Amino acid sequence: MARLLLVRHAPTPETGVKLTGRLPGISLGAEGERVAGAAAERLAGVKLGAVYTSPITRTAETAAIIAARHGLTPLVEDGIQEVDFGMWQGRTLNQLRRLKLWRQVQLTPSQVRFPGGESFPEMQTRAVDACNRLGTGKKTIVLVSHSDVIKAILAHYLGQPLDLFQRIIVQPASISIVHLNPGGFPMVETINSFAPVQR
């Protein structure tokens, strides 16, 4: 049975203020590096088969800090990349909350396609496909990704409709754990945890 450790990237100065999306060059900064280091410490006792990362700077930096503790080099995985927010990218959350589409994003995300970007179902499909492809054998792997992506993955494995995925909280540098059982059903062990991971 494979174990997936889904880690949200550590915070940047823009986290919670701006929808940075796929903008390049948004780094963690000193505080984000400290928080990523704390996440790495919580994973220090785990034997990792691999560390995968979204190609976005903040996830790659978080993954590098985690991987270094295990003598690993992060592997880029496009399937767990941030949502393509299209024209929403780079705008502040205060600006976006005033838009009519914001309410639909919260209540019926399965029907949302971001202007010039992708839909939530497209994002969920690619992310789950990546997890199923990478989560084989009896190994533990880390996937460093983004809030909405991790929530969509968790919703899938919980058997929860995508329209309810906003009810899941995934904070920066939190760890969620999923077990993939070949020929059986997946099991979600932990969501949004800040406790040390065992084994």
Rounded Cα distance between 174 and 196, Å, is: 11
167, HSE (Cβ side, Cα atoms, 13 Å): 9
Per-residue pLDDT reduced to its tens digit, 30-46: 999 999 999 999 999 99
Number of H helices, E strands in the chain: 6, 6
Whether CATH 3.40.50.1240 fits 2-181? yes
Alpha helix segments (H runs only) across the chain? 29-42, 57-68, 93-96, 100-107, 120-134, 147-158
pLDDT at 182 over 90: no
Residue 155 C-beta-side C-alpha neighbours within 13 Å: 25
pLDDT tens sequence across 114-152: 999 999 999 999 999 999 999 999 999 999 999 999 999
Read off the pTM: 0.97
pLDDT band at 199 (very low <50, low <70, confident <90, very high): confident
Type of residue found at 185: F
